């Protein structure tokens, strides 16, 4: 049975991350023939602000290719694979996952058997504990979600690492860093070292951050952002929404530090956790009015309140 807190978290994070265009919601398909080259070795299939669609990365070296995130189910995974094949003739293929959520990790079954799936040990722990709970929740929300996720399973992990791993693709190196517990316990980012392109997952985006796990920690998230900032990326590609630069990381860090400071002060003044969360949500959504999904602030405030000394 799904844990009550996880049910609440799903209700918050499953909404589209960014405002959609007027009219019917877009179906959650990775777009064909939309791949963009953003650096000498790095390509991105943008999400076009579509809910349950990730920004997909394709990094091409002389010997091998790495795909970052695979889309919602095999149909999307097939699109990602075709797009990767258009920009790379490599037979050696790696698949990397930013975190275990369905739109990131459920298209992997479309990839050939020789593709080597790489995950952090934290991601594997999330899969072992939560399994298909989120996929089943998403599948119940629309017929197209159900169709895309029918029979979808996790590919087994071929390469598991603890905190850091480097993949040499030939002429380009991709550094994988496990930085959770942030959005999830197993959050993993990918730095294309020669291009200075960072695939930041949900750890740094333009929308308010979502505390999507029972293990999410504001304190750990601030430490992760400090680590990402030290990488000095030129381009930041989040899981969802528009690409940016390192200011995307510093903006999240500023927000979390402001939230921590306010939560600590309210706790010291004897304000209850619930009242503090409501107050902080109102204040932060006003202060950071350009960030979408303001309803996420309360969950982060409650965690910061609990962690505050």
pLDDT on residue 25: 72
- How does DSSP classify residue 21? P
pLDDT on residue 1: 42
Q: How many CB atoms lie within 10 A of CB 266?
A: 21
Helix 273-287, helix 247-268: angle, nearest 10? 150
Residue 32, SS3 per DSSP: coil
In 3D space, the residue among 168, 208, 159, 153 whose CA is nearest the CA of residue 188 turns out to be 159
DSSP per-residue letters across 181-240: SSSSTT-EEEEETTTTEEEEETSS-SSPP---STT--HHHHHHHHHHHHHT--SEEEESS
Rounded to two decimals, what is the model's pTM? 0.94
Q: What is the pLDDT along the chain (309 residues), one digit of tens a residue?
A: 445 445 445 545 544 444 444 456 789 999 999 999 999 999 999 999 999 999 999 999 999 999 999 999 999 999 999 999 999 999 999 999 999 999 999 999 999 999 999 999 999 999 999 999 999 999 999 999 999 999 989 999 999 999 999 999 999 999 999 999 999 999 999 999 999 999 999 999 999 999 999 999 999 999 999 999 999 999 999 999 999 999 999 999 999 999 999 999 999 999 999 999 999 999 999 999 999 999 999 999 999 999 997
The C-alpha R_g of the chain, in whole angstroms, comes to 19
């Amino acid at each position: 049975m799904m844990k009550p807190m996880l049910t609440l978290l799903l209700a918050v994070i499953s909404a589209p991350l960014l405002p959609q265009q007027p009219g019917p919601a877009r179906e959650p398909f990775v777009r064909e023939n939309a791949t963009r080259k953003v650096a000498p070795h790095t390509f991105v299939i943008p999400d076009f602000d579509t809910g349950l669609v990730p920004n997909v990365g394709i990094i091409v070296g002389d010997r091998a290719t790495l795909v970052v995130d695979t889309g919602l189910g095999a149909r999307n995974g097939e699109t990602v694979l075709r797009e990767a094949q258009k920009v790379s003739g490599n037979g050696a293929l790696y698949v990397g996952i930013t975190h275990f959520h369905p739109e990131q990790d459920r298209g992997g079954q479309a990839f050939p058997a020789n593709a080597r799936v790489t995950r952090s040990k934290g991601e594997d722990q999330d899969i072992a504990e939560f399994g298909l709970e989120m996929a089943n929740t998403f599948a119940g929300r629309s017929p197209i979600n159900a169709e895309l996720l029918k029979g979808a399973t996790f590919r087994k992990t071929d390469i598991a690492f603890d905190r850091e791993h480097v993949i040499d693709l030939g002429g380009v190196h991709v550094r994988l860093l496990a930085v959770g517990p942030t959005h999830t316990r197993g959050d993993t980012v990918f730095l294309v070292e020669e291009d200075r392109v960072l695939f930041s997952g949900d750890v740094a985006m333009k929308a308010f951050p979502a505390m999507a796990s029972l293990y999410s920690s504001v304190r750990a998230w601030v430490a992760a952002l400090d680590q990402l900032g030290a990488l000095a990326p030129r381009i930041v590609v989040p899981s969802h929404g528009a690409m940016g630069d390192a200011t995307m990381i510093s903006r999240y860090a500023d927000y979390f530090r402001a939230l921590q400071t306010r939560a600590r002060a309210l706790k010291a003044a004897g304000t209850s956790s619930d009242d503090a969360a409501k107050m902080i949500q109102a204040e932060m959504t006003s202060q950071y009015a350009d960030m979408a999904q303001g309803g996420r602030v309360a969950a982060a405030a409650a965690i910061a309140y609990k962690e505050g000394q």
